[in-house]
Amino acid sequence: MFKAAGATLAPRRAPAAPLPVAARPMPRLLRPAAAARSAALPAARPARPLRQQRPLQEPPRAASGASAAGDKEPEPDAMKSIDLVHPDGFVSRRLLVFAGILIAYTCLYLNRGTLTYSAPTMVADPLLGLTKTDIGAMTSAFPAAYGISKFAGGMLGAAFSPTKMLAYGLMATSVVNILFGFGASVWYWSGLWAINGALQGIGAPACAMLLTRWFAAKERGTYWGLWNISTNLGGFLSPIIVGSLAAHYGWQWGMWAPGAFGLVMGAAVLFALKDSPEALGFPPVEPVKASDAAPAKGGASKTQALRDSMQEVLTSWRTWLLALTYFMVYLVRQGCTSWLIFYLLEVKGATNAAAAALTVSGLELGGLLGGTLSGVLSDASIKAAKASGAGQVGRRVQIVIVYLFLTLGVLAALRAVPAAAPQMQWFVIAALGFGIYGPQMLIGLCGAEIVSKKSVGASQGILGLISYMGAAFAGVPLAFMQARFGWDGYFALLSLGCVAAIGLLLPLVNARSQAQISAAGGPAKS
């Protein structure tokens, strides 16, 4: 538009900035409803700081544990219920590993019994001119060498591959058996059999390490018990295979055939088995901390791993309680296997040694059942107590205590069984094997779970060394007790061993495994 003449032009005003929606005046009729909606809205939450990222190897926190009123973290024990889902192919691969260690340890046990069942043929051979005293000289060095080897093998397991330890140990002991068949001197045979004992001790710690790496705690007892039957299986096959070959083809074949089979199986183990699921690209069976993982390769790291595992095991009072319990259990077990034949001959009216040996055979069969069932029962106990966060090791210890009380009762029943009832004696001795082989299996498993995975071999070494001291105590000291106080003294000492074992286990009835302690943020060792 045109402006009038002489009119002054007012400066143009900039347009005002639009008001925020919340600050604009609201129509009068809409104000009450808006106020009501505003009052219904919750107050704004303050921003929460971001959580620090956790290492991939630690167990993840459950997201469902958060609540609207404070987002509370789950308790540490809740992490025990976490199950890792493994990809396809893991189960079949793990069963291959289990079959490998089962067959390999059976072969080890078979190559351990070759001399025992070839010896009668050797003594009967007039060209050799051997006596029973010569056979005793050959076998005398085996137990001591075996106990020391089990300790050394367990310690070395912290720094070396358990698969290679098992495979090379089996092949080496097989070579010893083959070389034994070419000998013709008591000194030569005695030296070789001492070497065999030194090599045999490597197998058990290696198998223990593989079992703890491939099987989680909730199922480990079952598979540990199944693996434990390899000793019964080897003991069953030795007289059949070795005795038959020695009797029909000469004592040399009693040594050569198990040795050749052991060489083949050792090579198969070396190529088929792997140290852990991670070595094949699978996730671990249980969450582990980085500090508990296997040490890196290299001379310096192996030395440090060996020192760390020795320190953890030797300073653990829980491991020493289990070791002393093992001493008592092996005293009872070896006392039964070594002296029950004489008890049946002298007290229970066995007609001859063969009949007594047949009755004592129930010990091994009952032991096979008792050892296997103890693992299943302990796994079931752990699963039943999963929600309460009970100690996994303590649950297994409670099963061991029940077995020891059963053994006490069976020892009393064996004394009361009539001499004229050999069938009843067989069943009572089978029950005795059931009662004592359960603790033998479970204590080794408890020792493996009470330390970190890198120290499993070391714990098995300590337990093995102390247990064979108990087995040695069942020799001369137990024989002295029997000679001095008769069979009353014999049974009193075995019963005292059971009572002492129960007392040693009482402080561990609620013990947690090292995996539980680590998951709860506890110390690396205890």
CA dist 404 to 5, 221, 305, 326, Å? 123, 18, 36, 12
Are the CB atoms for 440 and 371 separated by under 8 Å?
Answer: yes
Nearest to 176 by CA among 186, 184, 165, 188: 188
pLDDT value for 286? 77
pTM of structure: 0.68
pLDDT value for 141? 74
Selected residue with higher pLDDT from 13 and 101: 101
Distance CA(149)–CA(202), nearest Å, equals 6
58-62, 472-476, 522-526: segment of lowest average pLDDT: 58-62
Distance CA(146)–CA(199), nearest Å, equals 7
pLDDT value for 447? 92
Are the CB atoms for 77 and 90 separated by under 8 Å?
Answer: no
**Please, is 281 exposed, middle or buried when counting C-beta atoms within 10 Å of its C-beta (0-12, 13-18, 19+)?**
exposed
Read off φ and ψ for residue 411, nearest 5 degrees.
Answer: -60, -40
Residue written as tokens 């000469």? 250
Nearest to 269 by CA among 94, 93, 97, 95: 97
DSSP code at position 86 = P
Residue 124's CB is within 10 A of a number of other CB atoms, namely: 12
Confidence band for 288, pLDDT divided at 50, 70 and 90: low
pLDDT value for 365? 85
Dihedral sign, Cα of residue 142, residue 145, residue 147, residue 149 = negative
pLDDT tens, residue by residue, 293-303: 554 455 557 77
Read off φ and ψ for residue 292, nearest 5 degrees.
Answer: -95, 0
pLDDT tens, residue by residue, 369-407: 998 899 899 999 988 876 666 788 999 999 999 999 999
Average of per-residue pLDDT values in the chain: 80
Are the CB atoms for 126 and 102 separated by under 8 Å?
Answer: no
Selected residue with higher pLDDT from 204 and 48: 204
Distance CA(340)–CA(345), nearest Å, equals 9
pLDDT tens, residue by residue, 324-344: 999 999 999 988 887 888 888
Sequence-ordered list of residues with C-beta below 8 angstroms from that of 137, at least 6 positions apart, any chain: 186, 190
- As a whole-number percent, the residues of the chain with pLDDT over 90 amount to 36
**Please, is 219 exposed, middle or buried when counting C-beta atoms within 10 Å of its C-beta (0-12, 13-18, 19+)?**
middle
pLDDT value for 135? 82
Domains 88-286 and 305-517 alike in fold: yes
Are the CB atoms for 306 and 159 separated by under 8 Å?
Answer: yes
- How many helices (H) and strands (E) would you count in the chain? 18, 0
Distance CA(115)–CA(179), nearest Å, equals 13
DSSP code at position 3 = P
Distance CA(265)–CA(482), nearest Å, equals 43
Distance CA(107)–CA(475), nearest Å, equals 27
Please give the angle made by the CA atoms of 180, 181 and 182, to the nearest 5 degrees. Answer: 90
CA dist 179 to 137, 192, 206, 256, Å? 18, 8, 25, 8
Report the amino acid identity of residue 365. Answer: L
Distance CA(21)–CA(5), nearest Å, equals 44
- What one-character-per-residue DSSP string does 385-397 give? TTTTT--HHHHHH
Query: Per-residue pLDDT for 60 more than 50?
Result: no
pLDDT value for 415? 93
Largest CA distance in the chain: 152
Q: Domain coordinates of the chain in residue numbers?
A: 88-286, 305-517
Q: Which residues of 161-171 are buried (b: 16+ CB within 10 A; e: fewer)?
A: bbbebbbbbbb
Instruction: Write the class of the CATH domain 305-517.
Output: mainly alpha
Q: Please say whether the structural domain 88-286 has been given the CATH code 1.20.1250.20.
A: yes
Are the CB atoms for 468 and 151 separated by under 8 Å?
Answer: no
pLDDT tens, residue by residue, 505-521: 999 999 998 888 877 76
Sequence-ordered list of residues with C-beta below 8 angstroms from that of 196, at least 6 positions apart, any chain: 111, 112, 142, 145, 173, 176, 177, 180
